[in-house]
Every structure is written in structure tokens, then in C-alpha cells.
Structure 1
Amino acid sequence: MTDLAGLDRPALRPLWQALHERLSSGRPVSRVRIGPLDDEQREALADLLGLDRLPGVTPSVALARLEEAVADAGGRTVRDIVAGLVGPLDDRAAVRQRRKDERDELWAWLEGHETVRSQPALGEWVAHCRNGGLIDGSVPRTRDLLSSALAVLAALPAEAEPLPVFAARMVSGDSHALDDGTRLSSLVLRALSAMHGAEMPRNAQQRRGMWARAGVADDDLSGTVLAAGLRLVGDGLLSRITGACSQAGHAASLTLAQLRDPGDLQLHAGPVHITENPSVMALALRRFDTACPPLVCTSGWPNSAAVHLLRLLADHGAALRYHGDFDGEGIRIAAYVLDKTPATPWRMTAADYCDALTRTAHGPAVGRLTVAPWDPALTEAMVEHGTAVLEEMVADLLLDDLASAGASSHGTRGTRV
């Protein structure tokens, strides 16, 4: 910068630095306080402003008066002089607002993500992530990590994969991405804890247990699913097992290994109903014996075998209908099943819950409640009444539905897939 008419003399440096700081704030500036100034600096300021006496040691200078003095001295503005002598002016207010907007957009994206919306129990996890703030202050890094965690959650339950194999498949070939102590592993485990209403695992054994519950580091045999009335047409082992059990009026306990090799299947037409509790399947077998309609039981939270079977049946044209307990845990399990499979709710609306209350004795407390994605009014009704309705308490209605479904589809077969 040339022709500064003495504005660049060292004694005025405190003035320009103070102005640079204030003008870079992005907020309106009418006065600026500088100092403490020594005698030489006070004289320089008095000369610039045309004062008849020295200003104080820490004077407050009006910006309008400075603009006049600078214009008289060189025909420039205060901003021009400050930018030339100290450096480019910032707009910290705009930067702060932009960063806030970026953070708000990140958390809105997380709250609205399909995996979170389909399993409202993850709302607790979202709140924890938000309270934890950004990773290294970076929105992009935080979003990348959350995206990886959501991808992992969407892929669960895994099909009995060792943790390193599952991690390599999910996270760009990095077999250590879900090792103990990694940020991603902690995020996923906290999400699983929120879904299951469990405490965050505190040691290696508890962490292994949580992963196993999600179908990771499991084996093909320990996880099983109960099925009754599945009359699958085909020569494979799965068809022979389910056929023999159905003809004998028994439930089949199917392993993931058996489900992975289903052979060439056909399904009889009609829906496949799903229950949460084995006792309902036991009542169905007692009532229908060898004529039991197709029924699958998740036995609480569905494991890898249960999800695999339901997806297999859906892929072969079966319409899946799910029923579970009307309590906090039951709502979360139902949301999980509806998210992980193409199942639709079966007698799981607010109207069904209120009707069941009139037919049953006072039940236990509903426990921790989350929103039912398929019918938000259901959770509202459960909050209002505070009474759980366990599946066994409406078993007669469920069995009547099974009888109607069995009668309508009797003797009809689907097509080969």
C-alpha cells in the first residue's frame, strides 16, 4: 500500500490492530477502545484525529471520526487502511452462523435418517451423538463416521460372520474398523444398547455378547428359529424338515445353516404369520395340530436365523404379518422386525390395543416406550393407559385369524421361484 500519508507509522499500529479485531467480528462497530497507549502512541492518535490535547491511556474512538480523518489523510476508508496494514478482514459472525447451520443440518440428517425413523429407540442414541459434539470439530468427519455406523446398523443382524469379516465387508475392506476401542465400534454398540434397552457394554465379554446378539461372531448352529405349518414344496433339506414337522403337528427348530441351503422351493399361497412368543405357537399347534397355518416365532428379538427365514419366505412370495406384545420392549421388537423384513403389522394398532384392554385383566406396566412407526397413536394410547397387553392375552383372536387364513388358502399353491 502506497501514499499512506503517515497512516502506517508504528505509533498508530495499536489503533489498526484494535480495529482489525473489531471489524472482523462481523458485528456493527461504532466505537473502538484501544490501549493502554504510551505517550508516543497518544500523540500519534491526537495528530490523526486533530485533537487539541492528548487522549487518555485507553481511549474510545468513534469510527465515524476515524473515517473522516482517514479520508482527509489519504482518501481511503478505514476498512481499506486496516486490511492493507494488518491483513484481510474476517467475518467471524458469518463463520459462526455457517458452522452452526452445518451442525444443525448434520443433526437433522441423522434424526431423519431412514434407519433412525424406522427404529425410534435409536432416538436416545441420536441424542447421545449430538451431546458428544463433532469429531475433531469437523462436520464432514462426523458425518462420515455416522454414515458408517448407520450402514452397519442397517446390515444387522449379520449372518454369523466373525467380527473382522463383517467389518471388512461393511467398511471399505477394513477388518479392524469394528475392533474394541474404535469410535465406530463404540457408536454401533451404543446404538444396539439403545435399541435393546440395555446398558452400554463395559468389558470385552459384554461387548462380545452384544455383537453375538446382533448375529456377529456367532455360528451357523446356535441361532435357531421356530416355524410351524410351513409346507414347502421341494427336495431340499429345508423342505423335508418343515414338511415332516408339519405332518406331525410339531414346530421345526431351524438353524441358519439349514436356511442357507434351502434348495428349490415352492410355497403354498397365503400369508405367513409371525409371533413374538413361543407360547402362542404352542397354542396354535394344540388347536390346529397337523393343519396349523404357516407360523414363525421370533422368540423375542429376532436373531440371524429368524431374519433370514422371514426374508427367504418373502423372497418366495409370502406376505408376512407380525404380532407382538403391547409393551415397550414389544414395540421396539416390532419396529425392528418391520425394518429388517417386508412384514406388516398384524393386530398392532392403537385400536387393537384399546380393544384388547377391554378383554383382559389389568396387565403389567408398559415399561420404556418409544414411538411405533407404523401407528404413532399406539404409543400415545399405551402412555395414557399405562398397561401392557402381552401376546398370550389375545391369543384367541390371533388363532381365529390363523384359522381364517388357513381356510382361505387351503389346497392352493404358489409358483416356483
Structure 2
Amino acid sequence: MDEVRDALDVAELQGLWAAAREAMSGSKPTFRLELPDDATRAAVGELYGRPMWGEGTRISVSKLDESLRNRFGVGLSQVIEALHGSVAVAEPAPETADELLPVLDEHGLAGASWAVPWLRWMRQYGRIAESELTGITHAAARVLTAMSLTEPPRSWTSRAALAGRTGFPHSLDDGTALSRVVLKAAALAQGIEPPGNERDRRALWERCGVAPDAVSSTVLTWALPVSGDDAWSAGVRTRTELGLPAHLTHLDLDVAPARLVADGTAIAVCEHPRVLEAAVRESLRHPVICLSGLPSTTARELLDRLSGDGAVLHVHADFDWPGIAAALTAQRHGATPWRMSGDDYRAALDRAAQDRTDLPNLIGSPVPTPWDPQLADLMSTTSRAIEEEQTLQPLLTDLRNGL
């Protein structure tokens, strides 16, 4: 245990052990953990197995226990005892056998850390009749195997298409028993509280790679050089010839050809529609994708598909914390930051000072910039936000000359 103690008895993890100890003493399945700084977020995220953002998160006791066993070969109660000495810590409630486990086993889910707590919840609080438990467990398992429960989604499906796996197209509509139990399983797998309103339900679906529908989420595009000879590709090219951008939905991407663009195609990704509009008005035929803030599910699917085609994606966003978060998300889907260095931020500040442009205050929690750590430091120090519209001319020059 000396090696375990050396690795885990660090200042950044003390809050985690204290909160976990309290949760286990009260037999609570999850607990709220404050994340006061980047060092704590990094240490907890590395141990827990997923990136940490913001000032707090919800931690699953069973998932934390599983992560510790996978990495160190010891459970959570052993770690807490090693770090705090001989203390009275209640073990997590024993996970008794359930006759529904074989149902989950048929779908490869019986070994998941959330499986037994979920089955226990369904029996106690799921409002499912005993005679319907086996059937709804089968249906939920068919849905859950198609969702990204523990890893960031790499592909997307609509909720209606997911419901089709059960044979009933409306089985996952809000308020149905199946949607309720599926979202409970997803929340347990993610280590978060179950959603309590429509916004939180939508966010959890999307977190697991499910778009609530196939048409409301869109991504704005301009001059995509689609290479197919089918009617869909011809329609996109026609809009470009007319000088019009194209709003693409999941439904568009469902019927689009498997390959969208040629290998090596350079594509600009921006956050603000003003950049795309300026490219259209100046008849710049360089392809542009606009995220309009944090990338939608459709935008993320499109970025993944283009990256898979071998396209070279370059992302630029506002120099504020939401903009940095949008750029980070695009980066995880294959894009490379473009004019987003500390030097670019400093140059934009100098231009604003020279032009006597008023800059808004930088608000919110800092977000790391791993492609150039000095950028986040500079932004925090100057505490000024720079909207993408204020960096428009250099961006248009790049589009005019080719990225």
C-alpha cells in the first residue's frame, strides 16, 4: 500500500477522499465534488478516467471504486483506510444477485458498474410492474448498447432511430417508462444526477451520442466542396453557386454519400456566423463551417465525417472562455486551432487599443488551452474578451489565400 499511498496522498485529491469517505459512510451512490483549480481538475480527471471541467462535478462511488481497482488493484474503502488510518467507513451496499442480470448479460452489460444499482432502482423506484420488468430490461438493454455511456460519442443517432431498435418508434419519447429507465442507467454510468427537466434530459441524451431528433440540430456551412455525383451533393453545390450557405441537419447527413470531400481538403471552422457571412458576401469559395457557439451534435458529426475523409480542419473561435471550450470540442473532433495562439490574442489586443475599440470583460471560469498554455494565462491576466468579429480581417485574408 505504500505505493498507493504515495500516488494518492496528494493535496489535489484530499477533497476527493474526504467527500468519498462521507458518501460511503452514508451509503450514498454519488457525491458532489468541488474542483477549485486546474491542478485539482487534472488530478481528479486522470484518476476518475474522464476530463473535468468547471468548478464541480458529480462522482459515482462505484465508478471511482472501479477506477481504483483497475489502476491500483485496491478498492475505495481500502484507499481511504490507508490514507486516513483505521476509520469506520461503511462499505458500499452489497450488490445482491438479481434475476434480471442474465437479461443484461445477453447484451454484454451485466458487468457494468451501474448494472446492479440500476436494477435495484428499477425495482424500488422505477414504477415498473413486476410482470413488465423483464421486457423493459430487454428493451432498455437494446437501447443502452447503442449509446456512448462511458466514453465521448464518436457517432450520433437520433432518438427516433434508437427507439426503432425496440420496434416502437415512440418508445423513447419524453415521459415514457423506457426513456425514464434508460436515462437513469445513463446517469449512473456517467456518475451524475438523473435529469430533472427537459433541458437536462436533452443534455444527457447528447452526452451519450443521441440527438433528441434528426432535424432541430443544425450546422451552418458554406462552399463545402462535396465530391459526390448524387442529387444530395448536387443540391449542396447548387446552393454555393447561388451564393447561399447550407444548413445541414442529422437527416441531411443520414442521406449524404459516405464520402463527403476529397482527401486533404482544407476547411475553416469558425464560431461566429459573421465570419461565414463575410466569406459569402466577398464570394470567397473557401469552405467554412460555423459552430454558432458550442458545437451542436450535427456539427460534431460533420466534423468527424470530414476528418474521417482526410479533410484538414482549422478552427477559430472567440477569445473568451465559451469560445475556448468550443475550440477544444472541435479539436477533439479533428480540428487544429487556427490563429488561436497567445501571440494572436496579444496582436488582437494591440489592434483594439490602436483602434480604440472597447473590449468586454472576460467572465466565467478559465478553460485550459493545451495547444498553447500561454493563451489561457494571458487571457486570465488581461481579463478581456475578443469576439471573433474583431479578428475578421486576418481570418478573411487566410480564406482568400487558402489555409
Could you state the TM-score of these two structures normalised by the residue count of structure 2? 0.60
8 A contact 1:163–1:178 mirrored in 2: no
Structure 1 residues 266 and 327, CA gap change in structure 2 (3 angstroms): closer
Q: Distance in 1 between matches of 2:361 and 2:151?
A: 29
Q: Distance in 2 between matches of 1:309 and 1:217?
A: 13
State the partner residue of 1:371. Answer: 368
> 1:371: Cα distance to partner?
1.0
Structure-to-structure mapping, 1:45-194, within 5 angstroms = 100=5, 111-112=45-46, 116=50, 121=53, 124-125=56-57, 129=59, 139-140=68-69, 145=113, 152-155=150-153, 158-161=156-159, 179-182=182-185, 185=187, 188=190, 190=192
> 1:103: Cα distance to partner?
5.7
The amino acid of 1:384's aligned partner reads: T
Structure 1: runs of 5 or more not aligned: 1-93, 169-174, 191-199, 407-417
> 1:145: Cα distance to partner?
4.8
8 A contact 2:187–2:194 mirrored in 1: no
> 1:150: Cα distance to partner?
8.9
8 A contact 1:237–1:262 mirrored in 2: no
Q: Distance in 1 between matches of 2:48 and 2:335?
A: 17
State the partner residue of 1:297. Answer: 290
Structure-to-structure mapping, 1:18-417, within 5 angstroms = 100=5, 111-112=45-46, 116=50, 121=53, 124-125=56-57, 129=59, 139-140=68-69, 145=113, 152-155=150-153, 158-161=156-159, 179-182=182-185, 185=187, 188=190, 190=192, 203-214=196-207, 216-263=210-257, 265-267=260-262, 270-288=265-283, 291-339=284-332, 341-360=333-352, 361-367=357-363, 368-405=365-402
Instruction: Give the secondary structure class of the aligned counterpart of 1:403.
Output: helix
Q: Distance in 1 between matches of 2:329 and 2:47?
A: 15
Deviates more, 1:246-255 or 1:98-107: 98-107
Aligned Cα RMSD in Å?
4.0
Instruction: Give the length in aligned residue pairs.
Output: 285
> 1:161: Cα distance to partner?
3.7
8 A contact 1:189–1:210 mirrored in 2: no
Structure 1 residues 366 and 402, CA gap change in structure 2 (3 angstroms): same
Deviates more, 1:379-388 or 1:148-157: 148-157
8 A contact 2:249–2:298 mirrored in 1: yes
**What are the Cα deviations for residues 187-216 of structure 1, in whole angstroms up to 9, with x where unaligned?**
7385xxxxxxxxx88623232232355452
Q: Distance in 2 between matches of 1:327 and 1:345?
A: 14
> 1:157: Cα distance to partner?
7.1
Structure 1 residues 374 and 237, CA gap change in structure 2 (3 angstroms): farther
The amino acid of 2:278's aligned partner reads: L
Q: Distance in 1 between matches of 2:340 and 2:113?
A: 35
8 A contact 2:268–2:313 mirrored in 1: yes
Structure 1 residues 309 and 393, CA gap change in structure 2 (3 angstroms): same
Q: Distance in 2 between matches of 1:346 and 1:231?
A: 20
Deviates more, 1:232-241 or 1:252-261: 232-241
The amino acid of 1:363's aligned partner reads: L
> 1:158: Cα distance to partner?
3.5
Could you state the TM-score of these two structures normalised by the residue count of structure 1? 0.58
8 A contact 1:177–1:185 mirrored in 2: no
Instruction: Give the secondary structure class of the aligned counterpart of 2:227.
Output: coil
State the partner residue of 2:91. Answer: none
**What are the Cα deviations for residues 104-156 of structure 1, in whole angstroms up to 9, with x where unaligned?**
69988753379745xx626743xx53xx76679774477x759x999634116
**What are the Cα deviations for residues 380-405 of structure 1, in whole angstroms up to 9, with x where unaligned?**
00011000001111011111110010
8 A contact 2:265–2:310 mirrored in 1: no
Q: Distance in 1 between matches of 2:238 and 2:292?
A: 22
The amino acid of 1:112's aligned partner reads: E
Q: Distance in 1 between matches of 2:53 and 2:344?
A: 22
> 1:316: Cα distance to partner?
2.0
8 A contact 2:183–2:204 mirrored in 1: no
> 1:222: Cα distance to partner?
1.4
Determine what percentage of the aligned residue pairs are the same residue: 26
Q: Distance in 2 between matches of 1:176 and 1:226?
A: 30
Structure 1 residues 178 and 207, CA gap change in structure 2 (3 angstroms): farther
Structure 2: runs of 5 or more not aligned: 17-41, 70-74, 77-111, 115-143, 167-177
8 A contact 2:268–2:315 mirrored in 1: yes
The amino acid of 2:347's aligned partner reads: D
The amino acid of 2:312's aligned partner reads: A
The amino acid of 1:322's aligned partner reads: V
8 A contact 1:228–1:250 mirrored in 2: yes
The amino acid of 1:366's aligned partner reads: L
8 A contact 2:261–2:306 mirrored in 1: no
> 1:159: Cα distance to partner?
2.9
State the partner residue of 1:411. Answer: none
Instruction: Give the secondary structure class of the aligned counterpart of 2:301.
Output: helix
> 1:260: Cα distance to partner?
2.2
Structure 1 residues 266 and 157, CA gap change in structure 2 (3 angstroms): closer
**What are the Cα deviations for residues 309-339 of structure 1, in whole angstroms up to 9, with x where unaligned?**
1222222221000000110111111111111
Q: Distance in 2 between matches of 1:387 and 1:277?
A: 18
Structure 1 residues 279 and 380, CA gap change in structure 2 (3 angstroms): same
8 A contact 1:115–1:154 mirrored in 2: no
